[in-house]
Chains A and B, each alone.
Chain A
Amino acid sequence: MVNNIYSKKVIEHFQNPHNYGKIKNANGIGEEGSLVCGDVMRLYIKVGKNEIIEDVSFETMGCAAAIASSSVMTDLIKGKTIKQALKINNNDVIKKLGSLPSVKIHCSLLAIDALRAAINDYLSKKTK
């Protein structure tokens, strides 16, 4: 079955998303989006030694593009340092997905926003 709206990669990640659910011992949690808009993404990160993101997971309520963007983003940041993760932007997410329809670009931004929120949460807890 071919879907004309989404790329093959989007459908792959949508059908079999990587790293979804909750992780234990997350030390950074970020949530972005709004229920009103129909897209909410929650990201859990476990940052370990040398500021490396050792584990990551997401929970997303949203369209296929939002779920696929979340999945790809978790792949992109797993094993990276916080500094490296902060350099990732939504174009990297889109590139990994092959493409996104123009009305769905905001889904890739949502993933990046959730990532930054999770990192901020981690950093703010650390300084306390």
Chain B
Amino acid sequence: MTRKSKKIYFDYAATTPVDPRVIKVMLPYLGKKFGNTMSIHSFGQDAKIALEKSREQVADLIGAKVNEIIFTSSATESNNLALKGVAFANKNKGKHIIISQIEHPCIIESSNWLEKQGFKITRLPVDKYGLVSPLDVKKAIRKDTILVSIMHANNEIGTIEPIEKIGKICRQKKVYFHTDAAQSFGKIPIDVNKMNIDLLAASSHKMYGPKGAACLFVREGVKIEPLLHGGGQEMGLRGSTVNVPAIVGFARACEICEKEMEKESRRLTKLGNKLIKNVLKIENSHLNGHPTKRLFNNANFWFSFIEGESLIIQLDLLGIAVSTGSACSSMKLEPSSVLLAIGLKPQEAHGSLRISLGRWTKEKDIDYFLKVLPKIIKKLREISPYGK
């Protein structure tokens, strides 16, 4: 992304550009320091030292111990490892897993696959804001429950789940608690001990690090099987030559996020509130998700009488990049299951728009967006049979 051009990127929840400070620390590991962490010569050992330093930096962001961080290639891989790894390591204890209906597809699909292997899956509903009820979790836990997996913050509507309460319940019931923190990691404080988290997935490219690096926090003592068997990397939990440059970048991204978290959250909360307040001034516009228990950088709306894909294309033609839960923008031609789970009708979900802000969002970007959005909606409603 070129920040000097007139294009406005409002899709930070999809992915983020790599911070130049991150690129800087990665470059040596693409060049001179190219060694394989498993080699005992100096090239390998330089890479190994960088890897272990990175592990410390990532662990530091969430209050984990160094040996509790497993590096992977993506949040999808981390979530697959968490669910399948825990399922297979604990199948003699039980075969029941609890998730919510609004998990990311990688959790939903891993659960669907486990179901085919004979595991039992409970998919908890959410309320109209997208909140999972801790009481529902408590009620759903059975003798054979081995894992509860509830996301920290939802990727579409930004709702922040009560994971501290859910974690406490799981701890009391002696059930492992996993959380997919891909959206919240680096944005809001996470303390795996205070929040009773046993496993946590996070990704580098959502927080200004490179793609291809992610991690799974696995609390000491949690029984888990690897998905990738190989050369014993990552404490035997993930065979593969380690992607040192990406991991070094991920770690630096964590450092920056930790240092700037408070300031950035204040800045973007202000911009986000301005955005939400003014978009809701448009007639027949509605906020999706929770009014306050939401990620500060996420705003999700639906607009009556229009369809989201046409809205996105119109905005894209003006250089503004946003996202929608409309079926028309997906290959499956089905509306967002998250929006349906919070009670939207399909026709309402089709008219949805997600705006996610980030490190390079400026107030003038919000102002420009607020200037053009009502005009675009007005025009699409003029074309629509219902808009008048």
Chain B contacts for A62, CB-based, 8 A:
307, 310, 328
Contact B317 A38 (CB under 8 A): no
* Chain A 50-93: CB-based contact to B (< 8 A → 1; otherwise 0): 00000000011111111100000000000000000000000000
Contact B346 A36 (CB under 8 A): yes
Give A20 to B328 CA distance when docked, in angstroms. Answer: 21
Interface residues, chain A, with chain B CB atoms under 8 Å away: 1, 3, 5-6, 11, 14-15, 17, 20-21, 31, 35-42, 59-67, 103
Q: Is residue B313 contacting chain A, with contact meaning CB distance below 8 A?
A: yes
Interface size on B, residues (CB 8 A): 28
Contact A63 B307 (CB under 8 A): yes
Q: Which residue of B lies closest to A5 (CB)?
A: B313
Contact B316 A61 (CB under 8 A): no
Q: Give B314 Cβ to nearest chain A Cβ, in Å.
A: 8
Partner of B306, one of A5, A15, A42, A61: A61
Considering only residues 68-101 of chain B, those with a C-beta below 8 Å from chain A are none
Chain A contacts for B382, CB-based, 8 A:
20-21
Partner of B384, one of A36, A37, A60, A64: A60
Partner of B307, one of A5, A6, A38: A38
A–B Cβ pairs within 8 angstroms, 27 of them: A1-B319, A3-B313, A3-B316, A3-B317, A11-B313, A14-B313, A15-B314, A21-B383, A31-B385, A35-B346, A36-B345, A37-B346, A40-B386, A42-B385, A59-B383, A60-B384, A60-B385, A61-B305, A61-B306, A61-B307, A61-B384, A61-B386, A62-B328, A64-B309, A66-B307, A67-B310, A103-B333
Q: Give B297 Cβ to nearest chain A Cβ, in Å.
A: 25
Q: Give B367 Cβ to nearest chain A Cβ, in Å.
A: 20
Q: Which residue of A lies closest to B347 (CB)?
A: A35
18 extra interchain contacts, Cβ-Cβ under 8 A, other than A38-B350, A63-B310?
A1-B318, A1-B319, A3-B313, A36-B346, A37-B346, A38-B326, A39-B328, A40-B384, A40-B386, A60-B383, A61-B387, A63-B307, A63-B313, A63-B328, A64-B310, A66-B328, A67-B310, A103-B331
Q: Give A116 Cβ to nearest chain B Cβ, in Å.
A: 17
Give A21 to B388 CA distance when docked, in angstroms. Answer: 10
Contact B346 A14 (CB under 8 A): no
Q: Which residue of A lies closest to B381 (CB)?
A: A61
Give A42 to B333 CA distance when docked, in angstroms. Answer: 21
Give A121 to B188 CA distance when docked, in angstroms. Answer: 58
Q: Which residue of B lies closest to A37 (CB)?
A: B327
Give A31 to B346 CA distance when docked, in angstroms. Answer: 19
Chain A contacts for B318, CB-based, 8 A:
1
Give A67 to B311 CA distance when docked, in angstroms. Answer: 12
Q: Give A25 Cβ to nearest chain B Cβ, in Å.
A: 18
Q: Give B349 Cβ to nearest chain A Cβ, in Å.
A: 8
Give A53 to B387 CA distance when docked, in angstroms. Answer: 26
Q: Is residue B133 contacting chain A, with contact meaning CB distance below 8 A?
A: no
Going nearest first, the 10 A-B pairs with the smallest beta carbon separation are A38-B350, A63-B328, A59-B385, A35-B347, A63-B309, A61-B384, A42-B385, A36-B346, A64-B313, A20-B383
Given contacts A1-B319, A39-B307, A61 and B313 within 8 Å (CB-CB): no
Contact A38 B335 (CB under 8 A): yes
Give A3 to B335 CA distance when docked, in angstroms. Answer: 22
Give A6 to B319 CA distance when docked, in angstroms. Answer: 16
Considering only residues 330-352 of chain B, those with a C-beta below 8 Å from chain A are 331, 333, 335, 345-347, 350
Q: Give A36 Cβ to nearest chain B Cβ, in Å.
A: 4
Q: Which residue of B lies closest to A71 (CB)?
A: B383
